[in-house]
Amino acid sequence: MLILAYHRVNPEVRDGLSVSPEMLRLQLTSLLERGWVNVVLEQAVASGRLETPDKSFAVTFDDGYQDNYLHGASILESLGVRATVYLISDMIDSPDPFPWLSPNSGPVDAEDLHMTSAQILDAMEKGLFVYGSHTRTHPFLSTLEEKEAIAEIRDSKAELEERLGVEITTFCYPAGDFNDETVEYVREAGYRAAVVTPNRHIPQTMFTLHRVGVYSHVTPRLFWAKVNPLYMQAQHFKAFWWARRRRVAKRRLSRSDQHT
């Protein structure tokens, strides 16, 4: 199954995590026109196993930026596509921007804030967004003490379920950071599945479902390279990541040489 991982959708392409509305529409339309079928991740894992038709894709958004609602929801609605948004429960309705946004990146407006309760419920009632947990505060889970990590994972689920009146069944690791203990905490908290966008060799299980990251630098050509089944399968092998590290190191060395 192809699981796309987005973060932000805004016309200015404000940072590396953003895609423009036009690019989002182009990417999703190209999949649909080639016979891909949109499925909701929560439905695909409802049985405790990943069950999907051939050439199926799910759309996910991390962090719950308001621009998902302001710019992304209308595109999904026009295409008949549904998505999972991973919410940070303590930041809902917060007037403060996400803590990792640079203070030098310019003035903060609604697009830089977390979605509000009203927006979350509106998109849910329209059938556009389904919600998963992205913890309470977006910490690096592997660095926390056991009780803190469990609270981030368990309490965010409970808080979202109380707020939304629906079961929260999927989880997303903040910054892709986890260890074996973290995965077990997620399982024990009652989630059916969890997702990660690999930046290293990660064996795939129901609690480490692989996604394809889509960012500002992803051109249409690169998008199709990334969603190619052969590319996705290659990520399951350690040799792929060894080769990738060598390529990155070579590029860095080349750039360094150019500046000396």
* Separation CA 200–CA 116 (nearest Å): 34
pTM value is: 0.93
CATH number at 162 reads: 3.20.20.370
pLDDT of residue 259: 61
pLDDT of residue 104: 63
* Separation CA 66–CA 108 (nearest Å): 12
* Separation CA 236–CA 203 (nearest Å): 6
Closest listed residue to residue 160, CA positions, set 216, 115, 207, 199: 115
pLDDT of residue 51: 85
Phi/psi at 156 (5° precision): -65, -40
Q: Is residue 256 part of a domain?
A: no
**Residue in the block written with tokens 């894992």:** 45
pLDDT of residue 32: 97
Average predicted confidence (pLDDT) for the chain: 93
pLDDT of residue 50: 87
Q: Is residue 135 part of a domain?
A: yes
62-71, 182-191, 237-246: least confident range? 237-246
Q: Is residue 251 part of a domain?
A: no
User: Mean of the pLDDT values across residues 183-196?
Assistant: 98
pLDDT of residue 78: 98
Q: Is residue 245 part of a domain?
A: no
203-235 pLDDT tens trace: 999 999 999 999 999 999 999 999 998 888 888
76-130 pLDDT tens trace: 999 999 999 999 999 999 998 898 886 666 677 899 999 999 999 999 999 999 9
Q: Is residue 241 part of a domain?
A: no
* Separation CA 209–CA 193 (nearest Å): 7
**Residue in the block written with tokens 């958004």:** 61
* Separation CA 112–CA 156 (nearest Å): 21
Q: Is residue 244 part of a domain?
A: no
DSSP track, 174-213:
GGG---HHHHHHHHHTT-SEEEE--SS-----TTSEE-EE
**Residue 37 structural domain:** 2-227
- High-pLDDT (> 90) share of the chain, %: 75
pLDDT of residue 233: 87
Q: Is residue 41 part of a domain?
A: yes
> Of all residues in the chain, what percent are helix, strand and coil, respectively (each to 5)?
45, 15, 40
Q: Is residue 242 part of a domain?
A: no
Q: Give the ranges where 96-237 is alpha helix by DSSP (H).
A: 117-125, 146-164, 180-188, 220-226, 229-234
pLDDT of residue 106: 66
Domain count, the chain: 1
User: Mean of the pLDDT values across residues 134-161?
Assistant: 98
User: Mean of the pLDDT values across residues 8-24?
Assistant: 94
19-23, 63-67, 252-256: least confident range? 252-256
